[in-house]
A and B are shown apart, each in its own frame.
Chain A
Amino acid sequence: KAGVTQTPRYLIKTRGQQVTLSCSPISGHRSVSWYQQTPGQGLQFLFEYFSETQRNKGNFPGRFSGRQFSNSRSEMNVSTLELGDSALYLCASSPEGSARGETQYFGPGTRLLVL
């Protein structure tokens, strides 16, 4: 089975622009979660989607948004980019995202640099 894929792998944007990142989960997985990884804040949860619905959201401003499509692929969008948005954005998928001990499988990440 193919793993979680994320595109693009690298992005350079300037302040004020917006960006869209894409994530394709493992085949058959219906839950997709997004995390932000920075040296200062570590790994932080952004949001989780299941069946095209956002079920959980972390403590991030409204500039961060996401969506999920009927094939479980997910996108996240960051508008009005700030320098502090520079990070590695990781996507993870799991079968249902609701079972005890269910493993989340991570993609390689998209590294975003905001100049």
Chain B
Amino acid sequence: GNSVTQMEGPVTLSEEAFLTINCTYTATGYPSLFWYVQYPGEGLQLLLKATKADDKGSNKGFEATYRKETTSFHLEKGSVQVSDSAVYFCALLNNAGNMLTFGGGTRLMVKP
């Protein structure tokens, strides 16, 4: 079956540091890939997505590139802010388009 593995946290960074959160997946076919973010006490918000190999998703300074050869979708940001502190989830959408499989989540803490 499908699975997603992402680096365990927490990841603690100083403001303006570079961020990388690793995500790899196992799936049949060519799934679409997503990053969601969850702030305390809230649901999930879509951060970015990519639907095919070599696509780059980007939003709010975050980027991730769909790498089919390494089955990866690593999240990056050049300069994090305190307001980026949250839990980040990598996910893939099944081929039928109706079920997301999530990684375990990575908590990011950004210190001023």
Contacts and interface: CB of A to CB of B under 8 A. Distances in A.
Interface of A: 4, 31, 33, 35, 42-45, 48, 50, 55-56, 58, 90, 92, 94, 96-109
A100 B32 contact: yes
Interface residues of B, number: 23
B102 A42 contact: yes
A48 B98 contact: yes
B43 A104 contact: no
Contacts, number: 67
Decide if the interface of chain B is mainly helix, strand, loop or mixed: strand
A90 to B, nearest CB: 6
Interface in B5-23: none
Contact of B51 (A42, A97, A101): A101
A99 B97 contact: yes
Contacts of A96: 97
A56 B101 CA distance: 13
Nearest to A9: B41
B79 interface: no
Contacts of A105: 46
B26 to A, nearest CB: 16
Contacts of A97: 97-98
Interface in B22-75: 32, 34, 36, 42-46, 49, 51
